């Protein structure tokens, strides 16, 4: 072969070898790129799983905290209920007329009554009062004008009945004129209703009614 032919053949061989290496590098690059993409996808999925795990862990912690809060509240309620059951509370109510038209509601106990609501009903008359507190031994006076007017009518009727009867002269001497008096109905419906709370917040109630009550009598 001539020197030119040898040079041309060497050039062709070099190009072929370079092409072969270039193709191999290209293929290796494609394979590497594919694996890199898969690795990135796997890393992204792992991050998502980690985030989900963290969210689940936070949710579990939140549920645990809520459960602990509920348990503490249940314990507090149980302790409060037990304390209320054992609470010593000396409050009793005496309700009666102080005088006609003036009704007295007295806390005869030694303890304090809170958020007191008093309702006194006499026939068709209702008197209601609300107080923040009523001390032991304290008396609340309620004016009942309708009841006072009714008592005054009854009182006048009784005075008329008590007046001496006129005497009449006749052939056989003086005699009393018979008089028929209609009975006076002095009985009235009275209801005493008191609602209150103890110092620990326990609700209490006093509720009594009388169908044969009076309207009071002056001394």
pLDDT digits (tens, 9 = 90+) for 158-199: 777 777 766 666 555 565 655 555 555 678 999 999 999 999
**In this predicted structure, what is the pLDDT of residue 184?**
58
What is the arithmetic mean of pLDDT over 99-119? 97
Choose among 136, 147, 124, 134: nearest CA to 215.
Answer: 147
Mean pLDDT rounded to a whole number for the chain: 79
Check whether 84 has a pLDDT greater than 80. Answer: no
In CATH, the number for domain 93-213 is 2.60.40
- For residue 134, give the nearest of 94, 162, 171 by alpha carbon: 94
Domain residue limits, the chain: 1-86, 93-213
Q: From 209, 215, 207, 159, select the one nearest 187 (Cα to Cα).
A: 215
Give me the pLDDT at residue 149, please: 95
pLDDT in tens, 19-38: 544 555 555 566 566 666 77
Contact 101, 145 (CB under 8 A): yes
Instruction: Give the pLDDT of residue 193.
Output: 98
Among residues 113, 77, 123, 120, which one has the least CA distance to residue 97?
120
pLDDT at 171: 59
Q: Average the pLDDT over 70-98 and give the result.
A: 76
The tokens of 80 are what?
Answer: 């409060």
Is the model's pLDDT at 11 over the cut of 50? yes
């Amino acid at each position: 072969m001539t020197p030119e032919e040898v040079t041309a053949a060497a050039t062709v061989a070099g190009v072929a070898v370079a092409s072969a290496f270039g193709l191999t590098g290209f293929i290796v690059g494609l394979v590497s790129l594919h694996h890199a993409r898969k690795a990135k996808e796997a890393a992204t999925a792992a991050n998502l799983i980690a985030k989900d795990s963290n969210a689940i862990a936070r949710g579990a912690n939140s549920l645990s905290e809520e459960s602990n809060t509920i348990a503490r509240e249940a314990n507090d309620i149980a302790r409060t209920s037990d304390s209320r059951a054992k609470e010593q509370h000396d409050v009793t109510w005496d309700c009666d007329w102080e005088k006609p038209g003036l009704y007295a509601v007295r806390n005869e106990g030694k303890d304090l009554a809170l958020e007191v609501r008093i309702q006194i009903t006499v026939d068709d008359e209702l008197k209601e009062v609300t107080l923040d507190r009523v001390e032991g031994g304290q008396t609340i006076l309620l004016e009942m004008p309708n009841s006072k007017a009714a008592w005054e009518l009854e009182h006048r009727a009784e005075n008329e009945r008590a007046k001496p009867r006129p005497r009449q002269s006749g052939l056989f001497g003086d005699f009393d004129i018979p008089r028929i008096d209609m009975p006076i109905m002095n009985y009235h419906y009275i209801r005493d209703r008191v609602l209150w709370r103890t110092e620990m917040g326990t609700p209490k109630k006093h509720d009594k009614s009388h169908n044969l009550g009076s309207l009071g009598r002056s001394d």
